[in-house]
Chains A and B, each alone.
Chain A
Amino acid sequence: MRYLKGYSLLLMASLAACSKSSDTTTLVGNWMKRSQYEGVARSSAASFVIDNKAYVGTGYDGTERLQDFWVYDVDLNQWTQITSFPGVARNGAVGMAMAGKGYVGTGYDGLNKLNDFYEYDPVAKTWTKKANFKGTARYGAVAFALNDKGFITTGYDGNWLKDNWKFDPTAPDATAWTQVESMNSGKRTDASAFVIGNKAYVCMGTANAANVTDFYSFDGTTWTTLNPIANVNDDSFDDDYNFAGSSAAAFSMKGKGYIVSGIKGGYSAAVWEYTPGTDRWVQKTDFEGAARSGAVGFSLKDRGFVGLGASSSLSLDDLWEFDPNAEYNKND
């Protein structure tokens, strides 16, 4: 029985020790409502992908334009705040990556349309100002990189645009930007672009309060007209094409392009998949998150992601992974 007494004292001591150590961890904690957890929420952010990490920054939180920049690790589902964007806070900027560096420029600061342009070095973790974008200052453009050259096209400078500018990251500032062939027609802003096999595909967008249905690919030199995203052909393949809209998220994965959510009259949750070989679109399972505008879309390691954005005046912080071939499971 002496053994029992000793045991109970030992038990009390160890329990006391446990409760003490857990006290020290809870001291640095806070409680918050899950519903009030906002995170890096924003719409119309700029993003680019380098080394299987997604960089997301600037944008609009519903009240203010933003300068902060974050890197997201999809494997760990973790965010790290990186060096702040050095230009003025803005939304509607474009982002792209080439030759291991990220580029962000143009956009809107609330008063002015912008044409400044910056490079991010993910190793040194620094931003460097580059030559200003040579087209007119604008927001709502799209950007993409082909063969380590960057392109900025479409957007809004007071008018809807279809001009196209090439950026060479290795050229001196004076010759870094050159105007190249414009999209055949289809001026627009808030369009979507994705790259598959060294061709960029530009679709969606609005001009003059109408959704643009013209759809083009660009190989770095020449634009090619593709079937419009509207029911215009006598054949039946486009009878269901009803997704023309703006401010949608876009990404490409495993040789196909995806357009997710955006505005089509109201907010749309529709997801459409494009196959370049056949120039055909197929509707997929609707986006499971809240339908939204100004979301970011990116793919890495053959996985597609869509998130952030805004629904009405509420900015969102959730990120969703899309598996185009999975059966819908509302409990996942």
Chain B
Amino acid sequence: MTKRNIIIVAGIAVIVLAFVVGKSYRQTTPGPGSDMVPVVVVPFEINNGWGYRVNVDGHTYIYQDVIPAIPGNHVFRSREEAMRVGQVVATKLTQHKIPSVSRQELIAMQIPEAQ
């Protein structure tokens, strides 16, 4: 491979990459004027257990460091349980519903502390 070929190949690779990255960037970050905002559930570790944040457009709207709805200071036992409940809360937000969960919903989601 000549030097020129290497430069051409590298140049094409960079252009292709820029295109691919730019496209995926556009998919996740709508431009100005868009009415769509991202809602993201982020689990975090706290007090030997787990909680979740629900971030709306990059800002933490809900910070859940205890299991909601039930009495007492309980944390989720696992990242998966925190995510399970956080996803339901995020889905309610996207469906124009109040983002609360009830004890009954926690039981249905098999969260042991709600039993």
Interface residues of A (CB under 8 A from B): 1, 4-5, 8, 11-12, 15, 18-19, 22, 25-26, 28-42, 61, 66-68, 70, 73, 76-84, 124-127
Residues A83 and B90 in contact, CB atoms below 8 Å apart = no
- Whether a CB of chain A sits under 8 angstroms from the CB of B32 is no
CA distance A76 to B55 in the complex (A): 12
Chain A-chain B contacts (Cβ-Cβ < 8 Å), number: 136
Residues B3 and A1 in contact, CB atoms below 8 Å apart = yes
The count of chain B contact residues (Cβ–Cβ below 8 Å) is: 50
CA distance A41 to B91 in the complex (A): 16
Give, as a whole number of angstroms, the nearest-CB distance from A93 to chain B: 17
CA distance A29 to B57 in the complex (A): 10
CA distance A140 to B42 in the complex (A): 39
Chain A residues lying within 8 Å of B40, measured Cβ to Cβ, are: 25-26, 28-30
Residues A22 and B28 in contact, CB atoms below 8 Å apart = yes
Chain A residues lying within 8 Å of B28, measured Cβ to Cβ, are: 22, 26
Closest B residue by C-beta to A66:
B98
Residues A1 and B69 in contact, CB atoms below 8 Å apart = no
> Interface SS of chain B: helix, strand, loop or mixed?
mixed
Closest A residue by C-beta to B12:
A8
Closest A residue by C-beta to B17:
A15
Task: Point out the residue from A1, A8, A81 that lies within 8 Å of B100, measured CB to CB.
Answer: A81
CA distance A81 to B36 in the complex (A): 25
Give, as a whole number of angstroms, the nearest-CB distance from B5 to chain A: 10
Chain A residues lying within 8 Å of B35, measured Cβ to Cβ, are: 33-35
Residues A30 and B71 in contact, CB atoms below 8 Å apart = no
Query: B52-63 interface mask toward A, CB cutoff 8 Å, 1 = contact, 0 = none?
Result: 000011011111
Having A5-B10, A8-B10, one finds 11 other A-B pairs with CB under 8 Å, namely A15-B17, A26-B40, A28-B87, A29-B39, A32-B36, A33-B36, A38-B97, A39-B99, A66-B100, A79-B62, A126-B72
Interface residues of B in 48-94 (CB under 8 A from A): 56-57, 59-66, 68-73, 83, 87, 90-91, 93-94
- Whether a CB of chain A sits under 8 angstroms from the CB of B109 is no
Task: Point out the residue from A11, A25, A35 that lies within 8 Å of B17, measured CB to CB.
Answer: A11
